[in-house]
Structure formats: structure tokens, C-alpha cells
């Protein structure tokens, strides 16, 4: 059966991690994987999560299945987190299922779209998260791209984006990053979100909003501004959310796929179909991460603690962006890297070429994805000098 299989190409980010682990240089720096790291280079379990786990251990009475939709309490809490006190919730137009992480949410979204209209085209930004295209292709969708990032000027290519969106046929789907765009760090501002929302309403494409980093940009509500504005503007949309980053629940794999229907009856039908998609995919979602999130969001004390811990992570990333640019200047780099301080979330393109990226790896044990995307959260006050001195040398 398997004799015809060929070895697939290595994942560019996971392959970097393997090389990093084998590197014996004590000064090595891994800027590839998209995970939050603290000043010590660790990805700690949040204190609010530890408290929720303690509560779960003491109060859990069964390991029975939750059902294909997952925990109803988690689903309600996560819908309120991403949408706030939005009219679509008050109008009973939202249906949510728990999923294995944000990737699971994207896969369910893709399969729901394909079940509704087989072979639908979904448009993704150029660039986008490396796994977006693979997930949607595996779900049976056709993939097209729209312009997003201006590599030469290190900014959002919004005019080109708008012109491309104007050409998208009604009935196609468009993937949008709610905040902390992966991999560029460039986000739409409020006025730009307004234009995109108006286009979605006028043209009739279906927005699919990926919100994997809520709270890592400007704050929980600000990061959801565009998503909520879109929900004001269109009758139907899909939202894929993740608890990996903002709750630090990476390995617990909990996220959600939420749909907004034209009315409650329509939402019931879409939600029921979405549950059938889940049933033939992974059947039942994991319970542990959902239980932790719903415990935290059901407690005023734990919610306040989570807000504080999330703010600390967000401010550390923003501080490292500023320090990174300052240290580049201190080390004699004349090229303008100030764009890094205008971006949101963990990611940024350095804009250096392939030879320079390879030199960073070979000569200095600094591991950067081939596109020059770096995870700013991988920086710290203890390694930023070595990093910026190395960049100065390869430039």
C-alpha cells in the first residue's frame, strides 16, 4: 500500500527547531516557532491556569464525552470573549463548537464551507500563516491569494488589497486575520476594517476571521474591533479562535469555530451541519483546555488575574520590539528597522535576504525562517545584544 509514498518536504519551522536543539552554541537563539517566551526563554503555565487546574482536579467527577459540540459553557464564554456584548449574541445568531486548537477550528470551517458549496474558493492574504493553505486545501477548498504586505516598503499594501477584494466573486470566502497578523505583524486600522467590511457586504463574499492572538496586540477588545465591525456589517461569517497563545494552552489544543447566521433559525441549521462535520472528523473535542478556560472566565478573580498576566505578555512583546530597534541603532545598523515598532503581536519580517539568514544560522546560531520572519517574543534583554550585533555583521 505505501510503497509509492515519497518523503514529504520538511516543515520549514519545525525543521529549524530540530537544528536548534542539536546546536551546541551556548549563545544560540531560536526565532522560528510562534510561541510566547518570557525573559528567561521559557513558556510558563499561567498562574490563573494552575489555579483552574487545581479546581478541576478537585471537582471533576467524570471523563464522559461532552458531545460533538463540546462544552456549552466554554462555547458561550468564548463567543462572548471574541464578540463582546454584540447584537448577534443578543439576537441568538451565534453557534459555536469546541475544536482541537485554532487549527482544528480552521479545518472545521473549511469543511463546513466545502459541505455547503463544494470546491469553493477561499482567498488568503499574501503572505499568511504557512499552514492556512494546507488546512483549507485538505478540506477540499480552492486557494487564491490577495495582496497584503508590501515587502519593499515594510508596510500594509492596502490599496492593492482593496482592488483585489473588489474582484472576488460573490459566494467565495475570504480569510482575514483579526489582529497580530501572522507572519507580518501588520494589522488593518479601524478605517481600513470599515472599508473591508463594506466590501464584504456589497460584494457578498463570506468573511472567515482567524483570531489566534486576541490580547497580544493592543488589548482584548481592541484586537477584536475588526471582527466585531464585520459582524455588524454582514449577515453571515465564520470565526476561528484559539486559546493557545492568550491562555498559554498550546499543548492542550483548545479553540473554537463560531458561525453567525442571518437569524436564529438559520444559525440553528448551520450549527447542526457544523456538528455533523465535527462528528466525522474527530467526533468529540478535548475537554481539559475548555474546562480551564471556562473556569477562568466564570470567576471574576481568575479573570482579573488572567487579564494581568495577558497584559504582562503583551507589554513584554511591545517592549522587546522597541528595544530590538534601539539596539540595532546602537550597534551601527543604518538601515531603518523602525517599522518593527509599529507592528502588533509576536511576528515581523526583518527584510534581510536568504544569504544573510543563512549566515546568521551558520556563523551565529541564530535561527530565522527563510522568509526572514522572526518571533519577537523569542528575544530577551539577555540575548538582544548578541542578536543585534550579529545582524549588524551580516548586513
> Tens of pLDDT along 240-252?
999 999 999 999 9
pLDDT digits (tens, 9 = 90+) for 49-69: 999 999 999 999 999 999 999
Of 10-14, 215-219, 368-372, 381-385, the range with the lowest mean pLDDT is: 10-14
Give the catalytic positions in this structure.
Answer: 129, 210, 245
Q: pLDDT exceeding 90 applies to what percent of the chain?
A: 96
Nearest-angstrom CA–CA distance, 375 and 233 = 33
pLDDT of the residue at 15 = 80
SS (H, E, C) 283-326: CCCCCHHHHHHHHHHCCHHHHHHHHHHHHHHHHHHHHHHHHHHH
Q: pLDDT exceeding 70 applies to what percent of the chain?
A: 100
List the grid coordinates of 368: 530565522
Residue 13's pLDDT band (boundaries 50, 70, 90)? Answer: confident
pLDDT of the residue at 350 = 97
pLDDT digits (tens, 9 = 90+) for 137-153: 999 999 999 999 999 99
Residue 209's pLDDT band (boundaries 50, 70, 90)? Answer: very high
Nearest-angstrom CA–CA distance, 130 and 183 = 8
Query: Does the pTM of the predicted model rise above 0.85?
Result: yes
pLDDT at 101 over 90: yes
pLDDT digits (tens, 9 = 90+) for 280-291: 999 999 999 999
pLDDT digits (tens, 9 = 90+) for 162-194: 999 999 999 999 999 999 999 999 999 999 999
pLDDT of the residue at 17 = 85
CB contact burial 104-142 (16+ within 10 A = b; e otherwise): bbbbbbbbbbbeeeeebbbbbbbbbbbebbebbeebebe
Pairing of strands 29-30, 366-367: parallel
pLDDT of the residue at 12 = 75
pLDDT at 18 over 90: no
pLDDT at 214 over 90: yes
pLDDT of the residue at 142 = 98
Mean pLDDT of 314-324: 98
**Contact assessment for residue 98 and residue 69, using Cβ atoms and an 8 Å cutoff:** yes
pLDDT of the residue at 55 = 97
Mean pLDDT of 114-141: 97
Mean pLDDT of 286-305: 98
**Mean pLDDT computed over every residue of the chain:** 97
pLDDT of the residue at 10 = 75
Mean pLDDT of 204-230: 98
* Domains defined for the chain, CATH in brackets: 12-44+302-394 (3.90.1150.10), 65-298 (3.40.640.10)
Amino acid at each position: 500500500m505505501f510503497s509509492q509514498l515519497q518523503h514529504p518536504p520538511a516543515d520549514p519551522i519545525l525543521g529549524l527547531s530540530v537544528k536548534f536543539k542539536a546546536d551546541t552554541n551556548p549563545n544560540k537563539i531560536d526565532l522560528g516557532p510562534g510561541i510566547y517566551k518570557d525573559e528567561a526563554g521559557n513558556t510558563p503555565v499561567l498562574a490563573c491556569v494552575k489555579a483552574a487546574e487545581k479546581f478541576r482536579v478537585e471537582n471533576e467527577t467524570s471523563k464522559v464525552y461532552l458531545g460533538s459540540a463540546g462544552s456549552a459553557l466554554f462555547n458561550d464564554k468564548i463567543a462572548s470573549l471574541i464578540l463582546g456584548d454584540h447584537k448577534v449574541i443578543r439576537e441568538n445568531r451565534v453557534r459555536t463548537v469546541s475544536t482541537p486548537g485554532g487549527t482544528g477550528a480552521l479545518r472545521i470551517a473549511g469543511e463546513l464551507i466545502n459541505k455547503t458549496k463544494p470546491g469553493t474558493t477561499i482567498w488568503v492574504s499574501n503572505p499568511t500563516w504557512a499552514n492556512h493553505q494546507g488546512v483549507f486545501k485538505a478540506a477540499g477548498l480552492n486557494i487564491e491569494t490577495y495582496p497584503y504586505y508590501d515587502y519593499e516598503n515594510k508596510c500594509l499594501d492596502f490599496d492593492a488589497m482593496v482592488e483585489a477584494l473588489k474582484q472576488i466573486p460573490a459566494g467565495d470566502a475570504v480569510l482575514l486575520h483579526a489582529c497580530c497578523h501572522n507572519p507580518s505583524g501588520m494589522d488593518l486600522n479601524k478605517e481600513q476594517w470599515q472599508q473591508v467590511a463594506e466590501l464584504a457586504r456589497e460584494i457578498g463574499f463570506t468573511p472567515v476571521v482567524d483570531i489566534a492572538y486576541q490580547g497580544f496586540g493592543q488589548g482584548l477588545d481592541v484586537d477584536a474591533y475588526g471582527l466585531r465591525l464585520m459582524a455588524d456589517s454582514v449577515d453571515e461569517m465564520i470565526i476561528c479562535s484559539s486559546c493557545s497563545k492568550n491562555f498559554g494552552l498550546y499543548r492542550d489544543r483548545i479553540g473554537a469555530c463560531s458561525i453567525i447566521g442571518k437569524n436564529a433559525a438559520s444559525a440553528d441549521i448551520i450549527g447542526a451541519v457544523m456538528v455533523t462535520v465535527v462528528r466525522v472528523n474527530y467526533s468529540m473535542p478535548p475537554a481539559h483546555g475548555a474546562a480551564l478556560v471556562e473556569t477562568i472566565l466564570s470567576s471574576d478573580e481568575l479573570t482579573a488575574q488572567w487579564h494581568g498576566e495577558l497584559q504582562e505578555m503583551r507589554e513584554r512583546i511591545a517592549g522587546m520590539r522597541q528595544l530590538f530597534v534601539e539596539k540595532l541603532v546602537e550597534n551601527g545598523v543604518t538601515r531603518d528597522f523602525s517599522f518593527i515598532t509599529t507592528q502588533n503581536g509576536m511576528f515581523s519580517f526583518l527584510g534581510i535576504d536568504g544569504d544573510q539568514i543563512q549566515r546568521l544560522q551558520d556563523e551565529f546560531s541564530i535561527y530565522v525562517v527563510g522568509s526572514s520572519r522572526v518571533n519577537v517574543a523569542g528575544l530577551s534583554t539577555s540575548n538582544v545584544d548578541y542578536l543585534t550585533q550579529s545582524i549588524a555583521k551580516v548586513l
